[in-house]
Amino acid sequence: MIHFVLLISRQGKVRLTKWYSPYSQKERTKVIRELSGLILTRGPKLCNFVEWRGLRVVYKRYASLYFCMCIDEDDNELEILEIIHHYVEVLDRYFGSVCELDLIYNFHKAYFILDELLIAGELQEPSKRTVARLVAAQDSLVETAKEQTSSITNIIAQVANFTIKMLHKGYGPWGSNALHLESLFLVDVCTRLVDQH
Partner 1 sequence: MNPFSSGTRLRDMIRAIRSCKTAAEERAVVRKECAAIRAAISENDQDYRHRNLAKLMFIHMLGYPTHFGQMECLKLIASSGFPEKRIGYLGLMLLLDERQEVLMLVTNSLKQDLNHSNQYIIGLALCALGNICSAEMARDLAPEVERLLQFRDPNIRKKAALCSIRIIKKVPDLAENFINPAASLLREKHHGVLITGVQLCTDLCKVSSEALEYFREKCTEGLVKTLKDMANSPYAPEYDIAGITDPFLHIRLLKLLRILGQGDADASDCMNDILAQVATKIESNKNAGNAILYECVGTIMSIEDNGGLRVLAINILGRFLSNRDNNIRYVALNMLMKAITVDAQAVQRHRATILECVKDSDASIRKKALDLVYLLVNESNVKPLTKELIESLEASDQEFKGVLTAKICSLVEKFSPEKIWYIDQMLKVLSEAGNFVKDEVWHALIVVISNASDLHGYSVRALYRAFQTSTEQETLVRVAVWCIGEYGDMLVNNVGMLDIEEPITVTESDAVDALEVSIKRLNSDLTTKAMALIALLKLSSRFPSCSE
CB of 107 to partner 1, least distance (A): 6
CB of 150 to partner 1, least distance (A): 13
Q: Which is nearer to partner 1, 24 or 97 (CB)?
A: 24
Give 106-130 as a 3 state SS string. Answer: CHHHHHHHHHHHEECCEECCCCHHH
Closest CA to 3 of 58, 65, 42, 64: 58
Question: Rounded to 5 degrees, what are φ and ψ at 186?
Answer: -60, -45
Q: Write the CB contacts of 68 (distance below 8 Å, at least 6 apart in sequence).
A: 5, 6, 7, 8, 35, 39, 57, 58, 59
Q: Which is nearer to partner 1, 79 or 182 (CB)?
A: 79
CB of 160 to partner 1, least distance (A): 17
Q: Which is nearer to partner 1, 29 or 161 (CB)?
A: 29
Q: Which is nearer to partner 1, 121 or 186 (CB)?
A: 121
Q: Which is nearer to partner 1, 4 or 179 (CB)?
A: 4
Please report, as ranges, the residues that interact with partner 1 according to CB under 8 A.
Answer: 14-20, 22-25, 29, 45-51, 76-79, 81-83, 104-105, 107-108, 111-112, 115, 119-120, 122-130, 134, 137-138, 141-142, 145-146, 195
Cβ(135)–Cβ(117) under 8 Å?
no
Pairwise CA distance, residues 108 & 54, whole Å: 31
CB of 174 to partner 1, least distance (A): 40
Strand 122-123 and strand 65-71: pairing?
unpaired
CB of 89 to partner 1, least distance (A): 10
